[in-house]
Amino acid sequence: MINKNRLVKTFIELVKIDSPSGEEKKTAEEVAKRLQQLGAQVEFDSYGNVIGKIKGKGESIMLNAHLDTVEPGRSINPIITADRITSDGSTILGGDPKAGITVILEAITSIIEDKKPHIPIEMVFTREEESSLGGAINLNYRKINSKRGIVFDGDEDVHKIFVSSPTYYRLDATVIGRGAHAGVEPEKGISAIQIASYIISKLKLGRIDHETTVNIGVISGGTARNAVPEKVELKGEIRSRDKKKLTRQIEQVESVFNKIQSNYPGSQIKIDLEEEFQGFKLKATHNTIQFISRVLKTMSLEPELKDSGGGSDANIFHQHGIEVVVVGTGVYEPHTTREYTVIPQLYQAAQFCEKVLMA
């Protein structure tokens, strides 16, 4: 039986372990230790991902949660208030992803403790999801047999099933002007900041439509307040769940850069657009969704299929032939210092996970 007190205790212990993306080794070691104590066969692949396996009968399933958090995520001080867990407001809580890890560990613990029959279980805990999806990209897929799975990395309730995700293009651009003394001879300079600002003003940013977004998230450059800035770098992204719309947005962005380049002779504008991960979309009739929906209905929960604007390890798993969906874990406002986890929903997610493994 899912033990609420143990569930909360595990969650609190995990969020107290610092695990910024790229520095999640201690969390990985803790998760591996707990899995070994449950009798799982555990190993680290060459990238540092944790892979755990427990034998069973029937068709296997892969359970996934990532190990890393975003910043500010060091020295987290979790606080329990009524049915919520928050940080002290100076950091994130780390419910993304520690709620997902906790759900999986508690479900496995309950099944082993009660000696319940279950299907074969493959657990994959990945590194660097937040920064690059690096763990999923570099996972040793030869060690994974499952062709279906659940990613415990969604917001809100467990009955929120995320069945689609966009294709993602990374945008990196460099604007090179000409440096000059801003007070003595500004006429000799070409301001890279002015060019970059003009580019940004001509781009259509934000939500383009219900499945397409464009963003410039970082702009950096210049060396001193009295120097005409010679170089500026822009970092952004283009996403869409529709490939035709994605192609159209890429063409429009490139067109803006090329047109503005012609307005500033003597400058250089370089743009690099590269696909980082592919999108996916599952129909309501898909076998994995139908399976999960049946489990939810045994809990008197009505599945709610949702489209996502974000990317996750799920995108990479689909590229490797593992058909997964993302479900909620009771986490709200992730990636902010306002993040919180709702204990009853965390408990419900653990119950769901346990029922999946016994289905």
Q: Are residues 147 and 182 in the same domain?
A: no
Query: What is the average per-residue pLDDT within 89-108?
Result: 98
pLDDT over 90 at 359, yes or no: no
Q: Are residues 78 and 140 in the same domain?
A: yes
Q: Rounded CA gap, 95 and 162, in Å?
A: 18
Domain count, the chain: 2
Q: What is the pLDDT of residue 103?
A: 98
Q: How far is CA 268 from the centre of its chain?
A: 34
Q: Which residues contact 334 (CB under 8 A, 6 or more apart)?
A: 92, 95, 96, 155
pLDDT over 90 at 32, yes or no: yes
Residues 298 and 355: beta-carbon distance below 8 Å:
yes
Q: What is the pLDDT of residue 150?
A: 97
Q: Rounded CA gap, 167 and 78, in Å?
A: 35
**Catalytic site residue from 129, 155, 211, 313:** 129
Give the SS3 label for residue 117. Answer: coil
pLDDT over 90 at 18, yes or no: yes
Query: What is the average per-residue pLDDT within 311-340?
Result: 96
Q: Are residues 36 and 155 in the same domain?
A: yes
CATH of residue 350's domain is 3.40.630.10
Q: Are residues 148 and 8 in the same domain?
A: yes
User: If you ran DSSP here, which 8-state letter would residue 187 be given?
Assistant: G
User: If you ran DSSP here, which 8-state letter would residue 156 be given?
Assistant: B
Q: Are residues 151 and 70 in the same domain?
A: yes
> pLDDT band at residue 52, thresholds of 50, 70 and 90?
very high
187-213 pLDDT, tens per residue?
999 999 999 999 999 999 999 999 999
User: If you ran DSSP here, which 8-state letter would residue 188 be given?
Assistant: G
Name the percent of the chain in helix, strand, coil, to the closest 5. Answer: 35, 30, 35
Q: Which segments of 71-120 are extended strands (E)?
A: 79-81, 84-86
Q: Are residues 159 and 306 in the same domain?
A: yes
Give the SS3 label for residue 284. Answer: coil
Q: What is the pLDDT of residue 74?
A: 98
Q: What is the pLDDT of residue 12?
A: 98
Q: Are residues 273 and 301 in the same domain?
A: no
Q: Which two tokens stand for residue 278?
A: 């592919």
CATH of residue 199's domain is 3.30.70.360
81-98 pLDDT, tens per residue?
999 999 999 999 999 999
242-288 pLDDT, tens per residue?
999 999 999 999 999 999 988 999 999 999 999 999 999 999 999 99
pLDDT over 90 at 342, yes or no: yes
Residue 261 CB-density burial (10 A; 0-12 exposed, 13-18 middle, 19+ buried): middle
Residue at a domain's end among 277, 311, 341: 277
Q: Which two tokens stand for residue 106?
A: 């508690």
Residue at a domain's end among 227, 244, 277: 277
Q: What is the pLDDT of residue 306?
A: 93
Q: Which two tokens stand for residue 198?
A: 């003009």
> pLDDT band at residue 155, thresholds of 50, 70 and 90?
confident
Q: Check if 185 is active-site.
A: no
**Catalytic site residue from 24, 30, 45, 68:** 68
Q: Are residues 301 and 242 in the same domain?
A: no
Residue at a domain's end among 217, 251, 277: 277
Q: Are residues 19 and 105 in the same domain?
A: yes
Q: What is the pLDDT of residue 229?
A: 98
Q: Are residues 20 and 142 in the same domain?
A: yes
Q: How far is CA 145 from the centre of its chain?
A: 23
Domain containing residue 60:
4-165+279-358
Q: Are residues 43 and 153 in the same domain?
A: yes
Q: What is the pLDDT of residue 76?
A: 98
Torsion of CA 290, 291, 294, 296, to 10 degrees: -110
Measuring CA to CA, how many Å separate 30 from each of 14, 27, 94? 8, 5, 15
Q: Check if 114 is active-site.
A: no
Average pLDDT score over the chain: 97
Residues 196 and 177: beta-carbon distance below 8 Å:
no
| Strand (E) or helix (H) holding 41 | strand 41-44
Query: What is the average per-residue pLDDT within 151-162?
Result: 93
Measuring CA to CA, how many Å separate 66 from each of 31, 58, 200? 11, 26, 34
Q: Are residues 151 and 180 in the same domain?
A: no
